[in-house]
C-alpha cells in the first residue's frame, strides 16, 4: 500500500465507522455499532503507531501530497491533502490511541443511555475530524478540521439535549469558538492575500522570510508588521479552540457533556488543536516577537488564574476541567517562549494523564451512581481500587512528580520560560512557579476528598437527593441518575472502564522518561518545527544543560517546583483530611475572594450581559426602529399613504359635474390668455 | 447536438403547467400532482444537458438560439447561457422539483392551479436567465411576478393580501426604471436590445450613473438589499412553503444576476464609482440584518432575515474592486454563495414547513424538544442549520469563505465586518435550533408530532446530499464558471468612457 492510501485509510476508517453507526445504528443495534466504530478507530490507532515507529526508525519519509482538488481560483489549486511528518505522526498516535481507549470506556459508561449508537457515531466522527485537522497540509483543510471538531464538540456537549444546562453550554461553546474562528479566518485571509496566493503550508513558509519586514495598514496611516498581525489573528483562533483567556469561558461549561468526551475532546485532543496549529505555524510565529509575547501573556493568565478556580470547585469534573485550562495555559506559555517542542511534549503527556484523570473521574461518577459532588464522596479507595490507583498515578503525573511523564514536560516548560528572553518571560516564569503549588493543591484536594477520609455518602443522604442549593447552576440536573440510594455502596466499574484506565496509566508514568530526549533535545521535530535560534536560544541552552532523564529528575529534587508541589500536597492533606475546619474558616475569612472565585471572576456574567444581551438589544433596536418604524413605517407605508392622500385629492377634482369642469376650463383659458397678453405687452 | 435545448428548458415546464391546469378542480387533484411531478422532473432532466454538455473552455455564450420576434422594433427571441447563468437554470429546475414534492399532500385546495403556477414560473425564470435580448429578459422577468403574486395571494397566510401587494408593488416599481434604462440603451446602441451589444457601447459617466441608479432600484429590491428589503420577511411569512423555497432559492438570485449581467458589464465605470455604496449596503445587510435575525420570534421571519444577510455576501463579492479589477475570489464566491443559498434556504424553509404542517405555528415559543419526537428530522435540520451557519464541508461555507478571503485582499475591515457572520449566523441559527429542537418536550402539541414521512425524507435527503456535495467538492460548480468570470472581469476592467 502506498503512503497516500495508508493515510487515507487512517483518516477514513473512523468516518466509515461513524457513518455506519450513525445512519444504520437503529438497524444494526448497540453491539454492532460499538464494534464497527471501535474497529475503525483501532485501524487508525494501529496504523498511526506503525507510521510513528516508521518515523522513529527512519524508514518513513515525510509525506506531502494532495488527495483531490477542492477548488481552483485564479490559477491556484486548493486541494485536500496530507502533510505527515513527525509532528503529525505524534498527534495521530495521541488522537487515535486516546480515542480508542475512550471508545472502549464508553461501552461501560453509556451502557444505559438510549443514545448509545449516536454517541459512538459522534466520537468516531470526532476522531476523523481531528485526524483531518492534524494531517492537513494546507490552511483550508486545517480550518475544515478545526470547525468539524467544533461541531462534534457542540453535538456532544449537548448530547443530553433535554437538559437546559447542556444546550446552554453547547451553544455557548460554539459561539465562543466562533469568535476565535473569526480571527482565525481573517488570519488565513491575510496569508492568502500576502503570501503569494497559495494556502499550502510549504508555499507559505517558503514565502515568509521575504515578508519579515513587510508592513500593512490595518488602520490608515499606522504601519503594522504583517507577520505580527497575521500571527496574532491566527492565535485568536487558537485562543478559542484551546480555551485561552479571554476565550476560555466555554470549557468549564462543556463538562455538561458525558465524561468520555470530556476526556477525549475537552482534555486530550481537541483543545490541543490550537497549540498544534501554533507549533505548525512556528516558521511564522518565530518572525514576530510581539506575537510571541501576546501568546505568552494569554497563556500566563490562563495558567495561573484558571488554576485558582480549580481550588473552589466541588464538582469532580469541574476540578479536572479547570486543571485542564491551567495546563493548556502552561503549553501556551511554552509556545510563547519558542519552546514548541516542549509544548507539544506536554500536549502528549497531558493527553494521557488528563484522559486518565477524566476517565477516572467518570469511573467515580459511575460508582457514585452519577453523583458528581465531591462533598458526597470520600473513602472510595476501598470500593474502587483500580480507579483509586490509576487516579493517584494521574494526579502524581499532573503535579509533576519526578520520573512521571508530567514532570518531564512541565519542568521543561518552566525551564524554557526561564531561559526565554522575551520581555514578559519573567512574569510568566513566576506565574508558572506559583501555578505548580496551586496545581498540586487542587489535585490532591480532589484526590483526598474522593478517595480518602470519611465515607460521606452515608451521612449526606438527604442533602444530595434534593438539590444542593449552594451549587452553581451548571450542576447537571440528572434525569435518570440519582446518586447512591440508602442501601447502596459505591462499586468498582466494569472491565471496559478499568481497562482503559490501566492502559492510560502506563504512558502517564513512562512516556516522559523515554520521550524527553528525542522530542526535546534530539532532532525529532526537525523540519516540522522551526526555531530562530539566534533570537530565541532558550531551547538550545536547555539542551546544553540536559544530561539525561535520570539526572534531570534527581536534580529536580533540589529545585523550587518540586518543593512547591510537595507542599501543595501536604497542605491539601492537612486541610482536607487533618483539619477540615481550616478551609471552612478561610472561606469565612476571605468570603469576598471566595465569591469572586466562585463566580469565575464574573467573566461569564460580563460576557453574557455585554455580548449576548447587547446583541439582542441592538437587534431589537435595528428591527423595531430601523426596519419597522423608519423603513416600513415612514418610507414604504408612508409612500403608500402619500399616494393615497394624493389620489384622494385628485379624486376630488374629478367630481363628474359639468359645471365644475366648465369652471376649470374657463380658468385655464383665462390663464393662458393672460400669459398671451402679458407676452404681447412685454414685447 | 442540442439545437433548441434552451427553448426546451423554458417551455417544458410551462407546457406542463398548462397541462396540469386542464385537470381542473380538486376532485382530480392526484392526477394534477403526478402530472406536475412528471413535468418538473422532465424540466429538471432537460436542464441537465446544459451542465453535462457545457464547454468549460468557452467563456462566452453557449446553446445559443436566435429567432426574430418583433421585427419592427428589432426585438429577438435570443437565448444563450454562459458559465454563470447556466448554473442558475439547473438550480431553478431542481428547486421546482423539490417544490412540487414539498407541496404534495400539504396543499389541499386548488392543487392543479398551485402546481401549475410553480411550473409556469419555473419556465419564466429559466427564460430570464437564458435571455440575451433585454426586452425578452424584461418580459420574462415581469411575467414571473404574476405566478408568485398568485402563490402568495391565494395559498398564503392570514396577511397574504398585504404581503402579496407589497411584494408586487415593490418589485414592479423597481423594474419600471429598468425598462426606462433599456429603452435608453436601445436607442444608444443603435436600435437593438441585444444585451451583448449593450456590453460594448460607450456611455458617458453621468449617464452611466443614472442608468446604474435605475438598475440598482430594480435589482436591489429583488436581492433584496438594505434598505429596500422589508417586503421579503412579509412575503416569506405569508407565502406557502413552496413559495418561500422558490422565492429564497431563485427569485432573489435574479436580482444579483441582474447586477452581474447588466449593471457591471454595461456600466463598469459607474459600478466602480458607486462600488463603495454597494459595499456599504452589503455590509449593513450582513451585520445589521444578522442582528435583526437574532431577535425574531417567528421562524420564517428569522430565516427570511438570514437570507437577506446571506445575500449581502453576494452583492459584497460582486463589488469588491481592487483598483479597476473585480476580485476573482470575491466574484466567484458571490456566485457560489448564490447557488449554495439556493440549496440551504430552500432546505431551511422546507424544514420550517414540515414543522408548520404538524403544529400550524411558526412561533419559536410554541415549540421545544422536537428532537424527542422527530429525531430524523432533527438530524437533518441540524445539518441545514450548520450549513446556514457556514460550517465547512457544507455548501454554506464555500461562498462566504471565498468572499471573505477576497475582501481581505481589498480592505481588511470589509472582511472583518463580513466575517462577523461567523458569529451572528451561528448565533441566530443555533439559538433558534436550541429553542425549537432541543430541550424536553415543550407542550402537548409537540408531544403529538410525528417524524418525517417518506416524501419529506426524500426531499430532505436530496437537499442534504446537494448541500454536502457542494461543500466537499465546490470545484464541480466553480470550474464551470471560471472562464465566464474571467471574461467578465476583463470586460469590467475596461473603461467605457
Probe site for chain A from B83, B228, B426 (most A CB atoms < 10 A) = B426
Q: Do B419 and A636 touch (CB under 8 A)?
A: no
Question: A145-203: per-residue pLDDT in tens?
Answer: 999 999 999 999 999 999 999 999 999 999 999 999 999 999 999 999 999 889 999 99
Last residue in a domain, options A96, A119, A142:
A119
Residue B12 contacts residue B46 (beta carbons within 8 Å):
yes
E strands within A18-170?
Answer: 63-73, 76-84
Please tell me the distance from the alpha carbon of residue B208 to that of residue A287, in angstroms, as a whole number: 49
What DSSP string describes A473-513? TTS---SS-----TT----PPPHHHHHHHHHHHHHHHHHHH
| B positions 445-464 inside 8 Å of A (CB) | none
Three cell numbers at A313?
470547585
Q: Which residues of A touch B475 (CB under 8 A)?
A: 69-72
Please tell me the distance from the alpha carbon of residue B67 to that of residue B132, in angstroms, as a whole number: 12
Domains identified in chain A, total number:
2
Q: Which band of pLDDT confidence, cut at 50, 70 and 90, is reported for residue B212? A: very high
Please tell me the distance from the alpha carbon of residue B112 to that of residue B100, in angstroms, as a whole number: 11
Could you tell me which of A437, A232, A214 has the C-alpha nearest to residue A336?
A232
Q: Which band of pLDDT confidence, cut at 50, 70 and 90, is reported for residue A461? A: low
In a domain, B377, yes or no: yes
Residue B10 contacts residue B126 (beta carbons within 8 Å):
yes
| pLDDT recorded at residue B319 | 93
Last residue in a domain, options A60, A86, A119:
A119
Instruction: Round the CA-based radius of gyration of chain A to a whole number and report it.
Output: 31
Three cell numbers at A649?
385629492
Q: Which residues of B touch A640 (CB under 8 A)?
A: 169
Q: Which residues of B touch A167 (CB under 8 A)?
A: 434, 438-439
Q: Which residues of B touch A189 (CB under 8 A)?
A: 404-405, 407-409, 415
Q: Which band of pLDDT confidence, cut at 50, 70 and 90, is reported for residue A470? A: very low
In a domain, B265, yes or no: no
Q: Which residues of B touch A148 (CB under 8 A)?
A: 391-393
| pLDDT recorded at residue A355 | 92
Least confident range of A114-128, A410-424, A531-545: A531-545
CA dihedral B296, B300, B304, B309 (to 10 degrees): 50
Gap from B126 CA to chain A (nearest CA, Å) = 27
Q: Do A72 and B475 touch (CB under 8 A)?
A: yes
| pLDDT recorded at residue B107 | 84
DSSP A337: T
Smallest Cβ–Cβ distance between B478 and the set A72, A168, A218 belongs to A72
In a domain, B286, yes or no: yes
Mean model confidence pLDDT for chain A: 87
Question: B450-472: per-residue pLDDT in tens?
Answer: 898 999 999 999 999 999 999 99
- Is residue A221 packed enough to be buried (19+ CB in 10 Å), middle (13-18) or exposed (0-12)? exposed
Least confident range of A303-307, A320-324, A647-651, B54-58: A647-651
Q: Number of helices and strands (H, E) in chain A?
A: 29, 4
Smallest Cβ–Cβ distance between B426 and the set A70, A162, A174 belongs to A174
Question: A558-590: per-residue pLDDT in tens?
Answer: 899 999 999 999 999 999 888 888 888 888 888
Q: Do A71 and B475 touch (CB under 8 A)?
A: yes
Alpha-carbon distances, residue A142 vs A543, A631, A651 (angstroms): 32, 43, 68
B329 touches chain A (CB under 8 A): yes
In a domain, A336, yes or no: no
CB pairs under 8 A between A and B: 135
Print the domain residue range for B466.
Answer: 274-497
Three cell numbers at B198?
449593450
Least confident range of A85-99, A115-129, B160-174: B160-174
Tell me the average pLDDT across B207-219: 90
Q: Mutual orientation of helices B299-318 and B395-410 as an angle, nearest 10°?
A: 40
| A positions 173-232 inside 8 Å of B (CB) | 174-175, 178-179, 181-182, 185-186, 188-190, 192-193, 216, 218
Q: Do B369 and A162 touch (CB under 8 A)?
A: yes
| pLDDT recorded at residue A477 | 41
A143 touches chain B (CB under 8 A): yes
| pLDDT recorded at residue A478 | 44
Please tell me the distance from the alpha carbon of residue A412 to that of residue A406, in angstroms, as a whole number: 10
Q: Which band of pLDDT confidence, cut at 50, 70 and 90, is reported for residue A655? A: low
Q: Which residues of B touch A193 (CB under 8 A)?
A: 405, 408-409
A608 touches chain B (CB under 8 A): no
Q: What are the residues facing A84 on neighbouring strands?
A: A63
| pLDDT recorded at residue A460 | 58
In a domain, A449, yes or no: no
Q: Which residues of A touch B479 (CB under 8 A)?
A: 72
Q: Do A623 and B296 touch (CB under 8 A)?
A: yes
pLDDT at A675 over 90: no
Q: What are the residues facing A65 on neighbouring strands?
A: A82
Residue in A with minimal Cα distance to B333: A73
Least confident range of A241-255, B21-35, B120-134: B21-35
pLDDT at B304 over 90: yes
pLDDT at A54 over 80: yes
Tell me the average pLDDT across A196-213: 90
Cβ neighbours of residue B290 closer than 8 Å, sequence gap 6 or more: B305, B306, B309, B420, B421, B424, B425, B428
Q: Which band of pLDDT confidence, cut at 50, 70 and 90, is reported for residue A206? A: very high
Smallest Cβ–Cβ distance between B419 and the set A155, A186, A635 belongs to A186
Q: Which residues of B touch A71 (CB under 8 A)?
A: 398, 402, 474-475, 478
Smallest Cβ–Cβ distance between A627 and the set B230, B413, B472 belongs to B230
B486 touches chain A (CB under 8 A): no
| Owner of C-alpha cell 410525528 | B450
Side-chain half-sphere CA neighbours of B170 within 13 A: 29
Please tell me the distance from the alpha carbon of residue A370 to that of residue A599, in angstroms, as a whole number: 24
Please tell me the distance from the alpha carbon of residue B54 to that of residue B48, in angstroms, as a whole number: 10
CA dihedral A176, A178, A179, A180 (to 10 degrees): 100
What DSSP string describes A404-458? SHHHHHHHHHHHHHHH--STTHHHHHHHHHHHHHHHHHHHHHHHHHHHSS--HHH
Smallest Cβ–Cβ distance between B426 and the set A70, A175, A627 belongs to A175
Tell me the average pLDDT across A620-633: 84
CB atoms within 10 A of CB A104: 21
Domains identified in chain B, total number:
1
Identify which has the larger pLDDT, A656 or A172: A172
Q: Do B392 and A143 touch (CB under 8 A)?
A: yes
Q: How many residues does chain A have?
A: 683
Percentage of chain A lying above the pLDDT 70 cut: 95
Q: For B211-241, b where at least 16 C-beta lie within 10 A, e where not — what string?
A: bbebbbbbbbbbbbbbbbbbbbbbbbbbbbb
pLDDT at B371 over 70: yes
Instruction: Round the CA-based radius of gyration of chain B to a whole number and report it.
Output: 21
Question: A222-242: per-residue pLDDT in tens?
Answer: 889 999 999 999 999 999 999
Q: Which band of pLDDT confidence, cut at 50, 70 and 90, is reported for residue A474? A: very low
Residue B89 contacts residue B49 (beta carbons within 8 Å):
no
Q: Which residues of A touch B288 (CB under 8 A)?
A: 622, 626
pLDDT at A465 over 60: no
Residue A315 contacts residue A373 (beta carbons within 8 Å):
yes
Residue B112 contacts residue B20 (beta carbons within 8 Å):
yes
Residue A348 contacts residue A515 (beta carbons within 8 Å):
yes
| pLDDT recorded at residue B165 | 81
Print the domain residue range for A114.
Answer: 1-119
Please tell me the distance from the alpha carbon of residue B110 to that of residue B357, in angstroms, as a whole number: 18
Gap from B439 CA to chain A (nearest CA, Å) = 4
Q: Which helix (H) or strand (E) holds A216?
A: strand A215-217
Under DSSP, is residue A220 helix (H, G, I), strand (E, B) or coil?
coil
Q: Which residues of B touch A158 (CB under 8 A)?
A: 438
Q: Do B473 and A162 touch (CB under 8 A)?
A: no
A158 touches chain B (CB under 8 A): yes
| pLDDT recorded at residue A155 | 93
Question: B151-169: per-residue pLDDT in tens?
Answer: 888 888 888 888 888 887 8
Q: How far is CA A109 from the centre of its chain?
A: 23
A634 touches chain B (CB under 8 A): no
| B positions 336-395 inside 8 Å of A (CB) | 369, 371-372, 382, 386, 391-393
Probe site for chain B from A70, A73, A224, A257 (most B CB atoms < 10 A) = A73
Q: Do B408 and A192 touch (CB under 8 A)?
A: yes
In a domain, A598, yes or no: no
Cβ neighbours of residue A431 closer than 8 Å, sequence gap 6 or more: A300, A303, A304, A333
Residue in A with minimal Cα distance to B288: A622
Q: Mutual orientation of helices B375-388 and B395-410 as an angle, nearest 10°?
A: 10
Gap from A182 CA to chain B (nearest CA, Å) = 6
Question: B395-414: per-residue pLDDT in tens?
Answer: 999 999 999 999 999 989 99
In a domain, A618, yes or no: no
Tell me the average pLDDT across A290-303: 93
Q: Which residues of B touch A174 (CB under 8 A)?
A: 426, 430
Smallest Cβ–Cβ distance between B423 and the set A162, A179, A188 belongs to A179
Gap from A424 CA to chain B (nearest CA, Å) = 29
Cβ neighbours of residue B368 closer than 8 Å, sequence gap 6 or more: B435, B436, B439, B440, B441, B442, B443, B446
pLDDT at A466 over 50: no
E strands within B291-381?
Answer: 321-322, 325-326
Tell me the average pLDDT across A456-483: 50
Probe site for chain A from B229, B230, B331, B489 (most A CB atoms < 10 A) = B230
In a domain, B49, yes or no: no
- Residue B224: asked if its preceding bond is cis (omega within 30°), the reply is yes
Last residue in a domain, options A71, A95, A119:
A119
Question: A241-278: per-residue pLDDT in tens?
Answer: 999 989 999 999 889 889 999 988 888 899 999 999 99
| pLDDT recorded at residue A678 | 73
Please tell me the distance from the alpha carbon of residue A621 to that of residue A590, in angstroms, as a whole number: 43
CB atoms within 10 A of CB A621: 14
Q: Which band of pLDDT confidence, cut at 50, 70 and 90, is reported for residue A473? A: very low
| pLDDT recorded at residue A469 | 39
| pLDDT recorded at residue B278 | 93
Could you tell me which of A190, A192, A199 has the C-alpha nearest to residue A228?
A190
| Owner of C-alpha cell 422532465 | B42
Tell me the average pLDDT across A543-559: 89
Percentage of chain B lying above the pLDDT 90 cut: 55
Three cell numbers at A611?
455580548
Q: Do B426 and A178 touch (CB under 8 A)?
A: yes
Cβ neighbours of residue B19 closer than 8 Å, sequence gap 6 or more: B35, B39
| pLDDT recorded at residue A484 | 75
Cβ neighbours of residue A161 closer than 8 Å, sequence gap 6 or more: A167, B371, B437, B438, B439
Tell me the average pLDDT across B300-323: 92
In a domain, A53, yes or no: yes
Q: Which residues of A touch B332 (CB under 8 A)?
A: 73
Identify which has the larger pLDDT, A526 or B294: B294
B227 touches chain A (CB under 8 A): yes
Q: Which band of pLDDT confidence, cut at 50, 70 and 90, is reported for residue A467? A: very low
| pLDDT recorded at residue A472 | 40
pLDDT at A13 over 50: yes
Under DSSP, is residue B65 helix (H, G, I), strand (E, B) or coil?
strand
Residue in A with minimal Cα distance to B329: A73
Q: Do B230 and A148 touch (CB under 8 A)?
A: no
Amino acid at each position: 500500500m502506498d503512503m497516500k492510501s495508508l493515510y487515507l485509510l487512517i483518516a477514513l476508517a473512523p468516518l466509515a465507522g461513524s457513518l455506519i453507526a450513525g445512519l444504520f445504528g437503529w438497524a444494526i443495534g448497540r453491539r454492532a455499532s460499538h464494534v464497527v466504530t471501535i474497529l475503525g478507530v483501532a485501524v487508525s490507532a494501529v496504523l498511526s503507531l506503525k507510521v510513528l515507529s516508521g518515523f522513529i526508525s527512519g524508514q518513513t519519509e515525510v509525506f506531502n501530497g494532495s488527495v483531490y482538488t477542492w477548488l481552483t481560483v485564479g490559477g491556484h489549486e486548493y486541494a485536500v491533502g496530507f502533510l505527515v511528518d513527525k509532528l503529525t505522526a505524534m498527534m495521530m498516535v495521541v488522537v487515535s490511541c486516546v480515542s480508542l481507549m475512550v471508545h472502549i470506556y464508553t461501552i461501560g459508561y453509556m451502557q444505559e443511555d438510549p443514545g448509545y449508537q449516536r454517541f459512538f457515531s459522534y466520537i468516531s466522527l470526532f476522531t476523523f475530524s481531528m485526524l483531518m485537522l492534524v494531517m492537513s497540509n494546507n490552511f483550508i483543510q486545517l480550518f475544515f478540521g478545526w470547525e468539524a471538531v467544533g461541531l462534534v464538540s457542540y453535538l456532544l456537549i449537548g448530547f443530553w439535549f433535554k437538559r437546559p444546562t447542556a444546550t446552554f453550554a453547547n451553544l455557548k461553546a460554539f459561539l465562543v469558538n466562533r469568535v476565535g474562528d473569526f480571527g482565525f479566518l481573517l488570519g488565513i485571509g491575510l496569508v492568502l492575500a500576502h503570501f503569494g496566493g497559495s494556502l499550502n503550508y510549504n508555499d507559505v513558509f517558503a514565502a515568509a522570510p521575504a515578508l519579515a519586514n513587510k508592513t500593512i495598514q490595518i488602520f490608515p496611516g499606522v504601519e503594522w508588521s504583517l507577520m505580527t498581525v497575521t500571527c496574532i489573528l491566527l492565535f485568536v483562533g487558537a485562543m478559542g479552540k484551546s480555551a485561552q483567556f479571554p476565550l476560555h469561558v466555554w470549557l468549564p461549561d462543556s463538562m455538561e457533556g458525558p465524561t468520555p468526551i470530556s476526556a477525549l475532546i475537552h482534555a486530550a485532543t481537541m483543545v490541543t488543536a490550537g497549540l498544534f496549529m501554533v507549533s505548525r505555524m512556528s516558521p511564522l510565529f518565530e518572525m514576530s516577537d510581539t506575537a510571541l509575547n501576546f501568546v505568552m501573556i494569554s497563556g500566563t493568565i490562563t495558567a495561573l488564574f484558571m488554576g485558582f478556580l480549580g481550588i473552589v470547585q466541588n464538582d469532580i469534573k469541574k476540578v479536572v476541567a479547570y486543571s485542564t485550562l491551567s495546563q493548556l495555559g502552561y503549553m501556551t506559555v511554552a509556545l510563547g517562549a519558542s519552546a514548541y517542542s516542549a509544548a507539544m511534549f506536554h500536549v502528549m503527556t497531558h493527553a494521557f494523564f488528563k484522559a486518565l484523570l477524566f476517565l477516572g473521574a467518570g469511573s467515580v461518577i459511575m460508582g457514585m451512581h452519577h453523583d458528581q459532588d465531591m462533598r458526597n464522596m470520600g473513602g472510595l479507595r476501598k470500593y474502587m481500587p483500580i480507579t483509586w490507583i490509576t487516579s493517584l498515578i494521574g494526579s502524581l503525573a499532573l503535579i509533576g512528580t519526578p520520573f512521571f511523564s508530567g514532570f518531564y514536560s512541565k519542568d521543561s516548560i518552566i525551564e524554557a520560560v526561564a531561559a526565554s528572553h522575551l520581555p514578559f518571560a519573567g512574569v510568566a516564569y513566576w506565574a508558572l512557579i506559583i501555578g505548580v503549588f496551586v496545581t498540586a493543591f487542587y489535585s490532591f484536594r480532589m484526590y483526598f476528598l474522593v478517595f480518602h477520609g470519611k465515607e460521606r455518602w452515608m451521612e449526606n443522604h438527604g442533602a444530595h437527593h434534593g438539590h444542593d442549593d449552594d451549587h452553581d447552576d451548571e450542576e447537571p440536573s440528572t434525569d435518570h441518575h440519582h446518586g447512591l440510594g440508602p442501601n447502596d455502596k459505591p462499586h468498582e466499574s466494569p472491565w471496559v472502564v478499568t481497562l482503559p484506565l490501566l492502559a492510560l496509566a502506563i504512558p502517564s508514568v513512562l512516556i516522559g522518561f523515554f520521550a524527553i530526549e528525542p522530542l526535546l533535545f534530539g532532532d525529532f521535530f526537525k523540519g516540522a518545527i522551526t526555531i530562530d535560534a539566534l533570537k530565541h536560544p532558550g531551547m538550545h541552552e536547555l539542551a546544553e544543560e540536559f544530561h539525561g532523564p535520570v539526572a534531570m529528575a534527581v536534580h529536580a529534587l533540589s529545585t523550587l517546583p518540586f518543593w512547591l508541589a510537595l507542599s501543595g500536597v501536604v497542605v491539601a492533606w492537612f486541610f482536607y483530611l487533618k483539619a477540615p475546619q481550616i478551609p471552612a474558616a478561610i472561606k469565612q475569612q476571605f468570603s469576598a475572594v471566595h465569591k469572586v472565585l466562585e463566580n469565575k471572576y464574573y467573566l461569564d456574567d460580563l460576557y453574557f450581559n455585554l455580548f449576548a444581551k447587547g446583541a439582542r438589544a441592538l437587534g431589537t433596536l435595528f428591527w423595531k426602529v430601523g426596519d419597522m418604524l423608519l423603513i416600513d413605517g415612514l418610507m414604504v407605508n408612508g409612500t403608500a399613504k402619500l399616494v393615497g392622500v394624493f389620489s384622494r385629492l385628485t379624486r376630488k377634482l374629478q367630481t363628474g359635474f359639468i359645471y365644475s369642469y366648465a369652471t376649470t376650463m374657463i380658468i385655464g383659458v383665462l390663464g393662458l390668455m393672460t400669459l398671451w397678453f402679458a407676452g404681447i405687452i412685454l414685447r | 447536438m442540442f439545437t433548441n435545448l434552451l427553448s426546451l428548458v423554458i417551455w417544458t415546464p410551462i407546457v406542463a403547467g398548462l397541462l396540469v391546469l386542464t385537470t381542473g378542480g380538486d376532485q382530480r387533484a392526484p392526477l394534477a400532482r403526478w402530472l406536475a411531478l412528471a413535468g418538473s422532473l422532465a424540466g429538471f432532466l432537460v436542464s441537465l444537458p446544459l451542465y453535462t454538455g457545457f464547454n468549460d473552455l468557452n467563456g462566452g455564450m453557449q446553446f445559443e438560439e436566435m429567432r426574430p420576434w418583433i421585427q419592427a422594433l428589432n426585438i429577438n427571441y435570443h437565448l444563450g447561457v454562459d458559465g454563470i447563468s447556466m448554473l442558475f437554470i439547473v438550480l431553478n429546475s431542481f428547486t421546482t422539483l423539490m417544490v412540487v414534492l414539498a407541496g404534495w399532500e400539504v396543499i389541499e385546495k386548488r392543487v392543479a392551479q398551485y402546481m401549475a403556477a410553480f411550473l409556469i414560473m419555473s419556465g419564466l425564470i429559466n427564460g430570464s436567465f437564458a435571455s440575451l435580448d433585454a426586452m425578452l429578459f424584461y418580459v420574462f422577468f415581469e411575467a414571473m411576478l404574476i405566478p408568485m403574486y398568485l402563490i402568495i395571494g391565494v395559498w398564503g397566510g392570514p396577511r397574504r393580501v398585504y404581503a402579496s401587494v407589497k411584494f408586487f408593488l415593490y418589485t414592479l416599481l423597481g423594474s419600471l426604471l429598468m425598462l426606462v434604462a433599456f429603452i435608453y440603451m436601445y436607442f444608444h446602441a443603435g436600435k437593438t436590445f441585444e444585451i451583448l451589444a449593450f456590453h460594448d457601447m460607450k456611455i458617458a459617466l453621468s449617464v452611466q450613473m443614472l442608468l446604474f441608479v435605475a438598475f440598482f432600484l430594480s435589482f436591489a429590491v429583488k436581492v433584496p438589499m438594505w434598505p429596500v428589503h422589508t417586503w421579503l420577511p412579509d412575503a416569506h411569512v405569508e407565502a406557502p412553503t413552496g413559495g418561500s423555497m422558490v422565492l429564497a432559492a431563485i427569485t432573489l438570485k435574479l436580482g444579483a444576476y441582474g447586477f452581474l449581467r447588466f449593471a457591471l458589464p454595461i456600466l463598469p465605470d459607474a459600478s466602480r464609482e458607486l462600488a463603495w455604496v454597494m459595499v456599504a449596503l452589503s455590509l449593513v445587510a450582513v451585520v445589521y440584518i444578522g442582528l435583526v435575525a437574532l431577535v425574531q420570534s417567528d421562524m420564517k421571519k428569522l430565516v427570511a432575515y438570514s437570507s437577506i444577510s446571506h445575500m449581502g455576501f453576494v452583492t459584497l463579492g460582486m463589488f469588491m474592486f481592487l483598483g479597476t479589477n473585480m476580485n476573482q475570489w470575491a466574484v466567484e464566491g458571490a456566485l457560489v454563495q448564490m447557488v449554495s443559498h439556493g440549496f440551504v434556504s430552500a432546505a431551511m424553509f422546507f424544514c420550517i414547513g414540515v414543522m408548520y404542517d404538524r403544529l400550524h405555528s411558526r412561533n419559536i415559543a410554541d415549540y421545544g424538544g422536537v428532537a424527542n419526537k422527530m429525531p430524523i428530522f432533527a438530524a437533518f435540520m441540524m445539518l441545514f442549520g450548520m450549513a446556514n451557519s457556514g460550517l465547512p464541508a457544507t455548501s454554506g461555507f464555500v461562498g462566504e469563505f471565498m468572499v471573505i478571503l477576497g475582501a481581505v485582499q481589498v480592505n481588511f475591515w470589509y472582511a472583518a465586518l463580513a466575517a462577523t457572520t461567523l458569529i451572528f449566523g451561528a448565533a441566530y441559527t443555533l439559538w433558534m435550533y436550541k429553542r425549537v429542537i432541543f430541550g424536553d418536550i415543550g407542550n402537548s402539541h409537540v408531544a403529538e408530532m410525528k417524524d418525517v414521512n417518506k416524501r419529506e425524507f426524500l426531499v430532505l435527503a436530496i437537499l442534504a446530499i446537494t448541500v454536502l456535495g457542494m461543500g466537499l467538492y465546490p470545484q464541480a460548480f466553480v470550474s464551470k464558471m471560471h472562464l465566464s468570470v474571467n471574461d467578465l472581469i476583463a470586460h469590467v476592467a475596461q473603461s467605457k468612457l
